[in-house]
Structure 1
């Protein structure tokens, strides 16, 4: 199986008095086709792991590889390119342009890759269709429900056909029904071949994933249901 994301003996220390060790030697490998929940109490290192996996931060020690590319060896421009081409990220807060349509929001996921506008629109339509929201493509995001907004965000994460999608508490701002719908969508996408890592505090969501990585005090304390 092909590794699409690897953290090898990763440490992350934030400066301070005293310094804060957020991760203390974490090793996790995500393979193509995985559906992984990363869980742990507040302060366990989940957010730090996400930031490192997404190339938004760099490790103090150890190696992070995104689709085989070692993050710690890349310059800022190279790292931006890896994020644009290899990763899809879904945030709890949606991070959408409220006055723009669903289609326009999804198409922006290809803007920095230099994809021509007609091709961006075609790809955005296809991604919205995969997310079950093609019928709302022309609606401004401000007119959509919370669940629909998260589907737009998921479609945007898919539009560039990334090696892995990272979802940070994707149901955190949704009611139970909308949250269940989004989780079902993630399962459907994974069944269709999308590799997904979900950061969550929701035990019910974690239990539905095939693999579960548990963090505590900056360490992996359990990795069950899948590869190492």
Structure 2
């Protein structure tokens, strides 16, 4: 395997004790390490945005490359990888900037208040209304319960290139919405999810790229 790419939210650091979380996922990470990929990439998501701070703290000494986005070429095709939270921030007209969304995500990784009360501590929700206020409330919901399909719809538009810093010839590959699909005509793909809120036939999905061709696959135990 030449490249192994993790598209974020591998760990859910939000309102969790980090040590407990790492221990719970130890077996999974051990199996991933056994894949022996030549190159490992970790694209940070909103729920594990903290990984960027860890990478900086330890002077980028991790075995893999950790970043917000990734560009790779294969078989003459160009691919642009992101987690996908960026598109949700754009759609929600997030107050001030994408940077504020990312700051929110980072603070949630540091918070250990499982009741969700921390939301009201770092945000004065009363000052927001309409979409902005609903965004804060919806962040506690699973993707399939907060109109997340609009992110997939936006990913299929031409306008995404300018707003995501993409080049028109690049294929977008993202996660975030937990809805696996490949749209070759629009040059867009979603790797799906490895958690159990999806129907069993859609769980544990991933995308394999060989000679520039994408294929949606499912891991079977």
| TM-score (ref. length: structure 1) | 0.32
Q: Which has the higher contact order (CA 8 A, sep 6+)?
A: 1
